[in-house]
Amino acid sequence: MAVENSPGSSSRQDPRQRIAVPLFRAIGPLMRLVLRRGLPAGPNALLTVRGRVTGRPYSTPVAIWELGDRRFVQASFGAVGWVRNLRASGEAVVRRGRWSLAVRATELSPADAGQLMHDALAGFRRPRLLRILLGPTVRPPAAILHRYRLRVEDHLEDYVAEARRHPLFELVPREPETAIS
C-alpha cells in the first residue's frame, strides 16, 4: 500500500519530491558519516529507531526542532519507514558525534502539530505595509516554509492540513543527556 507523500507513491507525487527523494537517498550515507563524526551539520542529527519487524536499529539523518527546552522531529516525506518504526516503538536515540540522548517519542495530533508550527512562525509575521517599507529584517526559515508549502501569513487550518501529511513527534528524554567517551 503506497502512503501519500511516500517515495513509492505514484498518485500525484509532488515534482519537487521526485527530485528530493533520490537526492536525499544519495547524500544520506554522507550525512550519516558527518553526523557520526560530530562535524557541524546545522539542526541535523541521527535518529536511531528499532525496526518494527526486524528489531534492528536503523539510523536516519533528520532535522531536530528545538523550541525552548522541547525537541521535535517532523517527517518531511510523510509516513516513511522511520516514521512507522517510531510510531511502533515509541522510543529512539538522537546522536550528534559523541553526544547522544535516549528519547520517548510522542506523535502530536495534527491539530496540536499545526498549532505548534503556527505559533513557532508567528514571530515572523509582519503587516504587509511594514514588509514593503522596511523589507525583511529577520527572515523566516524559508526551507521549512517551502517544503511544507506554507506562508507565514497562512491560517491555522493550513498548518493543520500540512501536519496531517507530515507527522510531528515530540522527543522527551528518557534519561539524562550523556557524552560517550
Nearest to 71 by CA among 63, 60, 59, 61: 63
Give the sign of the dihedral formed by CA 161, CA 166, CA 168, CA 169.
positive
**What's the grid cell of residue 18?**
521526485
Does residue 57 or residue 142 have the better pLDDT? Answer: 57
pTM of the entire predicted model: 0.69
CATH topology of domain 15-109+162-179: Pnp Oxidase; Chain A (2.30.110)
For residue 161, the model assigns a pLDDT of 87
pLDDT at 103 over 70: yes
Q: Give the position of cell 493543520.
A: 160
Q: Which residues pair with 124 in a beta bridge?
A: none
Does residue 14 or residue 86 have the better pLDDT? Answer: 86
**Alpha-carbon radius of gyration of the chain:** 17
Burial degree of 35 (CB within 10 A; 0-12, 13-18, 19+)? buried
**What's the grid cell of residue 75?**
517527517
Half-sphere exposure of 36 (CA within 13 A, CB side): 9
pLDDT at 4 over 50: no
